[in-house]
Amino acid sequence: MGSKWAKVWPPLMAMIAFLLVWQGAVFFFRLEKWFLPGPAAVVQEAISIWPRLWEHTAATIRLTLLGFSLGALTGIIVGGLLHLVKRVKLSVYPLLVLSQNIPIIALGPLLVMWFGFGLLPKVLLIILVCFFPISVAMMIGLANSDPRLMNYMQMIGANKWHIFRRLELPHALPYLFSGLKIAAAYSVTSAIVAEWLGSSKGLGYFMQLSSKGFMAPRVFAAVLITITLSMSLFGIIALAERWIIRWQPRKEGG
Amino acid sequence: MTSALEVREVHKRFGRGGAAVDVLGGVSFAVEEGEFVSLIGPSGSGKSTLFQLIGGLEQPHKGEIRIGGQVTTGQRGHIAYMPQQASLLPWLTVAGNVELALEVAGTAREEARELTGSWLARVGLESYAGEYPHVLSGGMQQRVSFLRALLTPRSLMCLDEPFGALDALTRMQMQQWLLKLWEANRRSVLFVTHSIEEALLLSDRIVVLSASPAVVIRELRVPFERPRSETLWTDPEFNRLKQEIYAQLSQGEPAAR
Ligand SMILES: Nc1ncnc2c1ncn2[C@@H]1O[C@H](COP(=O)(O)OP(=O)(O)OP(=O)(O)O)[C@@H](O)[C@H]1O
Ligand SMILES: [Mg+2]
């Protein structure tokens, strides 16, 4: 119990100090709300418009979860298939890397142009952003199993399926989870971008609307919620990881 | 009667051209049905390489390998295997690891589970059945690794220096343990070791390899009665044989270079 506190309180103190300095600066320099609101004003604003804010948040959560799940599924399948068919992997891999250099800010409007303002282009955007870190993590994990264990499996005459299912796949799981954690953060921000580019609901839309109206407290409130969403998704994945990967010796303390 | 294993004039070379190294220079020997044969040779003489050939992971340059009378050169899936490091899969429990080896060898899942459960109890490991390997000591992991090979329904067991990584005391305990288990369940075994005492204690026959390119420089039958015990160590014949093999090993090495 004590060691848990020792881990939690330094970042917590830093956080509180940051909020205090922020609030203090706003107060001390007499900054206008529309220019830079203090944390207290942001929370106040969020509470006063909560029903509307929650509607937008719910829309963003739905979009993020849909895009993330489909992206994760695509990433896992693509990673697994490319690993099993080595020749395809060699030819497709550079293309995959290349595709990651297309800025989403350019990709977004194109997708909207091709697929309209509905759900499809937004989900596609998130899938495109998500699946890459996941499939790469998956492939690296699958390709790097312990050579001694590999030798053992081959010596006892294990076939390709046994090797994949019992050696490579379990070995790839921790890699996969770190890919999922990275993709989780990406998927929330991509959802925001997608909503910003063409939507009538969601936090991205709400941020755009508020910033055009110089309503900084609302923008900040939306940002705060975005961060919370991102961290929650990360937390859920970390929990799932602990629940699924139980065979590793737990690290004690720091 | 067909032998459990026959190695005939096996040659193996790694690399090509000027950089090529001859590791095996025509090795021949056999393991009879139910016989325990130890393979001794200097480090680097190609014992592990020979196992990779028997396991079908490598192809010999020349020569052939027969298991149970059938030519199996370059074919996998004919042997039960125990490597030097326990090599238990960390994500499977102790029971899961044993079951996996059986399943790979074609045992039905239900049967594998029953067999594993009853054998773990028989060797006193039942309380670890549900544990992951990392909580086991090195000696215990090797017991599981041996059990996994013993239960695999294949006619030949290949053990590559299974006790090489253990401390002296654990090693002695493991030798006794293996001796008892094997004497109760005679399987055909090919056993690699660096320890002459270990080979004398456990085997029916010892095959001595030269330094690489390895050839068989000596084969001898171990004359001691079974069941054996550690009192063997005090037997004058035991020490005489030990000296003899030791002399052979140390003169065989420079001669082959
Ligand atoms: N894949 C390979 N490519 C090239 N050389 C190899 C390869 N595998 C083994 N060798 C060489 O073959 C020789 C024999 O190696 P091997 O591991 O079979 O010896 P060993 O008798 O098992 O030795 P030890 O008793 O130390 O385990 C060594 O010189 C090694 O460098
Ligand atoms: Mg070796």
Q: Residue-wise pLDDT tens for chain A (254 aa)?
A: 567 788 888 889 999 999 999 999 999 998 888 888 999 999 999 999 999 999 999 999 999 999 999 999 999 999 999 999 888 888 888 888 888 888 888 888 889 889 988 899 999 999 999 999 999 999 999 999 999 999 999 999 999 999 999 999 999 999 999 999 999 999 999 999 999 988 889 999 999 999 999 899 999 999 999 999 999 999 999 999 999 999 987 654 33
Burial B169-181 (b: 16+ CB within 10 A, else e): ebbbebbebbbeb
Among candidate residues B156, B194, B183, the one with its CA nearest the CA of residue B44: B194
Residue B58 lies inside a defined structural domain of this protein: no
Please give the C-alpha separations between residue A4 and each of A8, A146, A203, A252, A253, in angstroms, as whole numbers.
Answer: 6, 33, 34, 11, 8
Is any Cβ of chain B less than 8 angstroms from the Cβ of A153?
Answer: yes
Q: Test A162 with B52 for CB contact under 8 angstroms.
A: no
Distance between B242 CA and the closest CA of chain A, angstroms: 32
Mean pLDDT of chain B: 93
Atom of ligand 1 nearest to the CA of B41: 21
What residue has token string 């390997």?
B133
Structure tokens at A158: 């294990």
Residue B207 lies inside a defined structural domain of this protein: no
Searching chain A, which residue's CA lies closest to the CA of residue B134? A249
Residue A37 lies inside a defined structural domain of this protein: no
Residue B93 lies inside a defined structural domain of this protein: yes
Pairwise CA distance, residues B142 & B140, whole Å: 5
End-to-end CA distance of chain A: 13
User: How many domains are there within chain B?
Assistant: 1
What domain range is A239 assigned to? 50-244
- Residue B6's beta-bridge partner residues? B30, B66
What residue has token string 């994949």?
A164
| pLDDT at residue A2, rounded to an integer | 62
Q: Is the pLDDT of residue B18 over 80?
A: yes
Mutate which of B21, B23, B249 for ligand 1? The one with the most ligand atoms within 8 Å of its CB, which is B23
Q: How far is the CA of B192 from the centre of ligand 2 (A)?
A: 8
What domain range is B126 assigned to? 86-153
Among candidate residues B29, B151, B207, the one with its CA nearest the CA of residue A156: B151
Complex ipTM: 0.93
Pairwise CA distance, residues B53 & B11, whole Å: 10
Searching chain A, which residue's CA lies closest to the CA of residue B133? A247
pLDDT band at B90 (very low <50, low <70, confident <90, very high): very high
Structure tokens at B257: 């270079």
Atom of ligand 1 nearest to the CA of B51: 18
Residue B166 lies inside a defined structural domain of this protein: no
User: SS3 of B124, please?
Assistant: coil
Searching chain A, which residue's CA lies closest to the CA of residue B91? A247
Pairwise CA distance, residues A111 & A105, whole Å: 10
Residue B78 lies inside a defined structural domain of this protein: no
Residue A17 lies inside a defined structural domain of this protein: no
Residue B242 lies inside a defined structural domain of this protein: no
Q: Name the residue at shortest CA distance from atom 8 of ligand 1.
A: B49
Distance between B76 CA and the closest CA of chain A, angstroms: 5
Residue B132: phi, psi to the nearest 5?
-80, 150
User: How many domains are there within chain A?
Assistant: 1
Predicted TM-score (pTM) of the model is 0.89
The CATH number given to whatever domain includes residue A234 is 1.10.3720.10
